[in-house]
Structure 1
Amino acid sequence: MSQHRVVLLLGSNLGDQKKNLETAIKKLEESGNEVLKISEFLTSEPVEFASSNIFCNIALIIFTGHSPVQLLNDIKRIEKEMGRVNDSMASGGYTDRIIDIDIVTFNGLNFSSERLEIPHRKHLFDREFSRILLKDFI
């Protein structure tokens, strides 16, 4: 099975945010992914929606044997297991969330489907917190 280098961004703005991020990392590892590098935690204001809850964010580099869609399915399962109820793709907008995991890059692949776009252009080009976290990862 070939290993793919993937950059993920994780965020949480509900509950114990750092613990939520650490739990998500553990669950990613339990799903057969190898975590190679973890950024520092970074706090940021919500983007594209109003909330008084500040986000805690982190970037990861992982190796995975999964395809992009398989990895997305694992990510959505992890988010649901951790208590995320609103998916921004399904609801059409952003809300507070226990955990959010986004695939930013996947082995240099350009991929687009109804559920997934790689690379994640908003994180690469539009969001300041993402650029800060990703400066040593991309």
Structure 2
Amino acid sequence: MIAQQMPVLLAFGANLGDRGETIRAAQRELASAAGISDLNASPLRETIALTLDGPDPDAPRYLNGVATATTTLRPHELLDLLQTVESAHGRTRDERWGDRTLDIDIITFGGRSISDDRLHVPHPRAHERDFVLAPWLELDPHAVLLGHGRVAELLERIGDTTRPFEEPTHA
């Protein structure tokens, strides 16, 4: 039996440590993982930290980006893989929406809607997060978020507070 290939959109964020290198390392690891192919990462964007109490200008700033990929993994297998990569990069889950070395979310999984105790897809807050929408729009100007509409219109509605991040060039 041939496994079904599903397009996915993953979101990456980090506000502790070498944020850019951590995100790019995680993306390289995922690109070479069994069951993942065609990973295409967006440029990174920098944003103010978002906490349970709202934006926090005093917290370390986040770097965020997204990546499209194709997977033959089932949704929870993909989630397990992402959490393994997060843990390998020092991710702890001490505080909801707290500072983190790496966060990877499944934003979309094919055209599927999934809701259980471990996974909600499409991501329930993606439509209101400029740090997901702005890099996604850079990858795909025609992107549509299931249940919410065109990404360009969503971003226009909420506004874009992100700013481009100049990644270091390695000689």
- Judge same fold: TM > 0.5, yes or no: yes
How many residues align structurally? 133
Q: Does 1:37 align with 2:40?
A: yes
Distance 2:29 2:85 in 1: 7
Query: CA contact under 8 A between 1:79 and 1:101: conserved in structure 2?
Result: yes
Tell me which amino acid in the other structure corresponds to 2:100. Answer: R
Residue deviations 1:13-59 (CA, integer Å, cap 9, x gap): 11111100111112212322113421111001111344520111111
Deviates more, 1:33-42 or 1:56-65: 33-42
The runs of at least 4 aligned residues of structure 1 exceeding 4 Å deviation read: none
Tell me which amino acid in the other structure corresponds to 2:30. Answer: L
Question: Any idea what SS the aligned residue of 1:108 has?
Answer: coil
Which runs of no fewer than 5 residues in structure 2 stay unpaired? 145-171
Deviates more, 1:47-56 or 1:10-19: 47-56
Q: 1:94 aligns with which of 97, 100, 108?
A: 97
Taking CA–CA contacts closer than 8 Å with sequence separation of 6 or more, which of the two structures ends up with the larger relative contact order? 1
Note the C-alpha offset of 1:70: 0.3
Tell me which amino acid in the other structure corresponds to 2:89. Answer: M
The match for 1:8 is 10
The match for 1:110 is 113
Note the C-alpha offset of 1:133: 1.6
CA RMSD of aligned residues (A): 1.5
Tell me which amino acid in the other structure corresponds to 2:108. Answer: T
Distance 1:24 1:120 in 2: 20
More helix by share: 1
Which runs of no fewer than 5 residues in structure 1 stay unpaired? none
